[in-house]
Structure 1
Amino acid sequence: MKNLLFTFALLLPILSFSQNQTKPFLNLEDALKITEAAQAKAQSEGWNVVIVILDDGGNLISLRRMDGVQIGSIEVAQAKAKSAVYFKRPTKVFEDLMKAEGGSRIATLPNAVGVEGGLPIFKDGFCIGAIGISGVTSAQDGIIAAAGLASIGQ
């Protein structure tokens, strides 16, 4: 019994410390708000796309495929979002680097997608997820992704 109390006394500071540590996260409400704003932008331009929202681990929170979009865009949108969350930067960065001299090396990085349309989502300095868009040109995908993030003040 004495050993059990001693162990508990040692663990108590660790347990209380871990409970006080909070990291922001992307909830479903915000993911759907971003998705709705992205879809509204796409519809206003007459573009049909796939909209993907991932959490900070690259896990799917939301996927919306607008009518008429090729099914290949589902995986492309997911790959763009995954690249943005894994590297904490827009996929446009990789697209620009690939156009530069020696940029083909970017293609060797695992999960790096060199096509615009993926943006990380930040809150309080933490990357909490990403959006990926696919279905129209990469520049148009980027416009839609930016409109989605604007809905949450990014």
Structure 2
Amino acid sequence: MLSSQQALQLCQIALQLAQQNQQAIAVAVVDSHGELMAFTRHDGVGLPSIHLAQNKAYTAARERQPSGNLGQWARDTGKDMGYWNDARVTGFKGGVPIFVDEQCVGAIGVSGLSEEEDEALASQAIDVQRLQ
């Protein structure tokens, strides 16, 4: 189970990592069902990033895989993202599930950078928290 303190800590770690590179992001952490536990953003981050960060985390938690995997699957199969019949599901990279003992306990979503940078930063924040 992911605690509220851990969720807040993950948000802070992600913000600090982005700030070190003079980047502005929005970051969301959700529980294993995709329900929001923590959210924050840098001043000046693009407004679409607010919803994207939350939806990326939601998707990663619900699907138990990085959000970008769904986008790749949709491109590979020619299916539309509407296939999931859930307006919050996204195929953009940046949502990464959090596993503890092979069980998904939640996910983090980052938005504001390129998709690849969002995903890398989300993964890095998880790794940093595990080292603490």
**Do the structures match in fold with TM over 0.5?**
yes
What is the 5 A alignment of 1:1-154?
25-100=1-76, 102-109=77-84, 110=86, 111-153=88-130
Deviation per CA, 1:34-73, whole angstroms, max 9, x where unpaired? 1122112211222101010011222211111111012221
Q: Percent identity?
A: 29
User: Is the CA contact 1:97–1:106 (under 8 Å) kept in the aligned structure 2?
Assistant: no
Contact between 1:56 and 1:128, CA under 8 Å: does it hold in 2? yes
Letter of the aligned partner of 1:133 in structure 2?
V
Which segment drifts farther, 59-68 or 109-118? 109-118
Query: The residue matched to 2:119 in structure 1 has which SS?
Result: helix
Q: Is the 8 A contact 2:13 2:129 kept in 1?
A: no
Instruction: Report the TM-score, using the length of structure 1 for normalisation.
Output: 0.76
TM-score, scaled to structure 2: 0.87
Cα separation, 2, equivalents of 1:99 and 1:58: 24
- Structure 2: 5+ residue runs without aligned partners? none
Instruction: Say which one has the larger Rg.
Output: 1
Aligned residues between the structures: 129
